[in-house]
Amino acid sequence: MTIRSPYRHTVSPLRRSMRSLLLIVTSVILTGSLQLLMNPVAFGQKITYGWEPLNMLVIGAGGGATKYFGEFADQYYGATFYGYMRYYVLNEVALQIDGGVGNYVYNRRLRDQFKDAYVRQFYRDPRLVGGLLDFPENIDEIADDARMRTPVFEKDPLWFGEFRILVNLFPKRMVNPYFTTGIGLMQFDNASAGMRLQDGSSLLNVTFGKEPFYVDLADGSIAEGISTLPADASTLAIIPVGFGIDIRLNEYVAVNADISYRFLLGEGNDMMDGFGNIVQEQFNRIGHVDRVKSLENPDSWGTMTVGVQIYLFGHRDRDGDGLSDAYEERIGTDPLNPDTDGDGLTDYEEVYIYHTDPRKVDTDGDGLTDLEEITIKTDPNNPDTDGDGLSDGEELMQGTEPLNADSDRDGLTDGEEVHVHGTNPLRSDSDGDGLTDSEEVRLYGTDPLNNDSDGDGLSDADEIRDYGTNPLNTDSDGDGLSDGDEINIHAIDPLKPDSDGDGISDGDEINMYRTDPLKPDSRIPDAEDAGRSESGNIRSFQEGAGSDALLPPGESLNVGTVLILEGVTFDDGSATLTPSSYPILRAAARTLADNPRVIVEVGAHTDNSGNDTDDLELSGKRAESVLQFLTEHGVSDARLRARGYGQHQPRASNVSEAGRARNRRVELTVLAHE
């Protein structure tokens, strides 16, 4: 049975001071935490702008692990709880007072380099060879006993208080690493040093405070000595050095992590484990009994801790918006107005919740206030929340959905419809032709604002889905008839230029020969020679007619007769007659002179290679040129009418050059007899 020395139960002034400091720090932290819980707005503030801890008082507390370093260093860790007060004299420099309680843990065991001193000190320990009362005659015999080498687990308490200087590396950032050093005091209580055996003798054969102690010598005698250890040898000065990091969660709260190492100063600096240089020196001083000098170094210890700290002072908030006055001055808001820009959101909400500019009513400049955007759930920091090319403000004006890039789900974004194509972003088929706007733009290339892009009388959807015709070509088969006329008027195939296969295009049969394009037996062969009849009342003449009149002698002109003057040509793009046209025109004048009572229309036609409006005007001028030639050659202008038809009455398909040449012509049509 062992008893504990009264020395272990003595409460030193240092312990009382540390307990008082911890009690004060804990009270302040609890009070501050209650205030933060009552003010959740402040508790949730994140630092996104500037930060200056200057003149702030910080209260912190936490806990962690201790690590002992000495003769019996092992991978064991103790525990500690600590508190501190910190004041920032500069942003980069802070002063700190801290203190804590804890314990340190190690395995005490024999090591060969100091086994004589170890055996002399601990041979009485009942946890080893059973607690010998007499010193062994042969120290080597005991030193080599396996029981003497049994590790003894020790867990001893400690207290500490320190004054430190912190040097901050990034004091204005959310994450601030720092270096620290200072000076302090610690007190430890080694259990072995105060242990008494059943007979009342000391386990360690060592005393404190100049008290006598006794050493059993190898010759069986007992030597008496006076301890050189002072009574307060377990209270030591310490020099802490460390590295830490503060991670600020908001303007009031931060998480702290710290790693510190402590150097021990004083006569007891090698006594944390109860075994040290002084013990061996005392033995040697009495009987010079040890055969080697001590190889030990002073003990030391360190901590690895994590805690929470609260920033006090410097947070005056006169407008109650959750931002401190100093902070508002730094970011340019009004510390006396909770809503500086008057947009309906407090400055705190703008800075820390929505990350908008508390100085602007409309942070992203899209025409909507920040509050309006929050209400309709658009992004107040993005002028085009859905990325469709329309700003959120434009979408509200258009009636489109600011959170949907394609409000009518037609495959075109709202921005494309409004700014590029001019279509209705709320209608998938703006022109109502049965094709979506996206199909018209991306797939077929038709006009999404015109249900009949080529103006042929068929809707784009009908051409694509029902008839297979080209919605961008008025005459898909190039027969001289529009697709709409072929289907709606003539009921013929708009994809076949010669429906009855008689060798004459549907356009020629209808426009020139007046035959049925669906009946091959109505075929009329082409007139390839000048003066050959094309039908009963239609005759065609080419260059070099070779006669002074177009009609044979004695043949007269009847109403409805058409004389096609294919040999009449003009300079390119003008109404000037070419000289090769004169023989035919003189023959035409002779024919009109032989029929003095007829009234004739002079009609000029073009192919489709030019602009329709320009060709209509040009053909009119050409008709006037022919009329003037005829009057100059004896035909009364009272009998003549000039008219330009442009591209509107082709004789043949414009697909080939031959067809276009036949379409560029002048016709004399008998209108009446006087």
Q: Mind listing the pLDDT tens digit for each residue in 461-498?
A: 999 998 999 999 999 998 889 988 888 888 898 999 98
Q: How far are the Cα atoms of 129, 575, 653 from residue 622, in angstroms, in the given order? A: 137, 5, 22
pTM over 0.85: no
Within 13 Å of residue 524, how many CA atoms lie on the same side as its CB?
19
Q: Cβ atoms within 10 A of the Cβ of 593, count?
A: 14
pLDDT at 286 over 80: no
Place of tokens 């096609």: 564
Residues in the chain: 674
Spell 32-46 as b/e; 16+ CB within 10 A means b. beeebeeeebbbebe
Rounded to an integer, the average pLDDT of 430-446 is 92
Place of tokens 């005007």: 617
Of the candidates 602, 595, 603, the residue with the CA atom closest to the CA atom of residue 673:
595
CA 119 from centroid of its chain's CA atoms: 71
Question: What 3-state class would DSSP assign to 32?
Answer: helix
Q: How far are the Cα atoms of 109, 118, 135, 570 from residue 140, in angstroms, in the given order? A: 16, 12, 12, 137
In sign, the C-alpha dihedral spanning 187, 190, 193, 196 is: positive
Tokens of 334: 């009004």
Place of tokens 């200056």: 52
Which range among 136-145, 382-391, 552-561 shows the weakest confidence by mean pLDDT? Answer: 136-145
pLDDT at 20 over 70: no
Per-residue pLDDT, 122: 82
567-592 per-position pLDDT tens digit: 899 998 899 999 988 989 998 999 99
Place of tokens 């003549």: 640
629-672 per-position pLDDT tens digit: 999 999 999 999 999 999 988 888 787 787 788 888 999 999 88
pLDDT category, 354, cuts 50, 70, 90? very high
pLDDT at 535 over 50: no
Fold classification of 3-312 (topology level): Porin (2.40.160)
Task: Assess contact for 341 and 61: CB atoms under 8 A.
Answer: no
Task: Assess contact for 7 and 208: CB atoms under 8 A.
Answer: yes
Tokens of 94: 């802070």
Per-residue pLDDT, 48: 41
Tokens of 487: 């289907």
* Interstrand relation of 538-541 and 562-565 (parallel, antiparallel or unpaired): parallel
Q: How far are the Cα atoms of 37, 62, 76, 298, 513 from residue 68, in angstroms, in the given order? A: 39, 19, 8, 11, 118
pLDDT at 236 over 90: yes
CA dihedral of residues 339, 341, 345, 351 (deg, nearest 10): -90
Q: How far are the Cα atoms of 55, 57, 242 from residue 257, in angstroms, in the given order? A: 22, 18, 11
Tokens of 307: 């805690």
Q: Max CA-CA distance within the chain?
A: 177
Question: What 3-state class would DSSP assign to 358?
Answer: coil
Question: What 3-state class would DSSP assign to 340?
Answer: coil
Task: Assess contact for 593 and 635: CB atoms under 8 A.
Answer: yes
Query: How far is the C-alpha of 341 from the C-alpha of 369, rounded, in Å?
Result: 10
Query: What residues contact 412, with CB distance under 8 A and at least 6 apart?
Result: 406, 421, 423, 425, 437, 438, 441, 442
Of the candidates 579, 563, 559, the residue with the CA atom closest to the CA atom of residue 571:
579
Q: DSSP readout, 153-209?
A: EEEEEEEEEEEEEEEESSTTSSEEEEEEEEEEEEEE--HHHHEE-TTS-BSSS--ST
Residue with the larger pLDDT of the pair 345 and 322: 345
State the DSSP code for 501.
-
Place of tokens 């076949």: 496
Query: How far is the C-alpha of 571 from the C-alpha of 90, rounded, in Å?
Result: 95
Helix axes 277-287, 115-122, angle to 10 degrees: 80
pLDDT category, 141, cuts 50, 70, 90? confident
Query: What residues contact 219, with CB distance under 8 A and at least 6 apart?
Result: none
Query: How far is the C-alpha of 203 from the C-alpha of 207, rounded, in Å?
Result: 10
Per-residue pLDDT, 8: 37
Query: How far is the C-alpha of 583 from the C-alpha of 318, rounded, in Å?
Result: 106
Rounded to an integer, the average pLDDT of 173-184 is 95
Q: How far are the Cα atoms of 26, 128, 143 from residue 113, in angstroms, in the given order? A: 46, 19, 12
Task: Assess contact for 105 and 75: CB atoms under 8 A.
Answer: no
CATH 3.30.1330.60 fits 526-673, yes or no: yes
Which range among 102-111, 227-236, 271-280, 658-667 shows the weakest confidence by mean pLDDT? Answer: 271-280
Task: Assess contact for 483 and 504: CB atoms under 8 A.
Answer: no
How large is the C-alpha radius of gyration of the chain? Answer: 56
Query: How far is the C-alpha of 274 from the C-alpha of 213, rounded, in Å?
Result: 15
Question: What 3-state class would DSSP assign to 521?
Answer: helix
Q: What are the boundaries of each domain within the chain?
A: 3-312, 452-524, 526-673
Per-residue pLDDT, 2: 33
pLDDT at 233 over 50: yes
State the DSSP code for 299.
-
**Which of 212-221, 289-298, 356-365 has the largest mean confidence?**
356-365
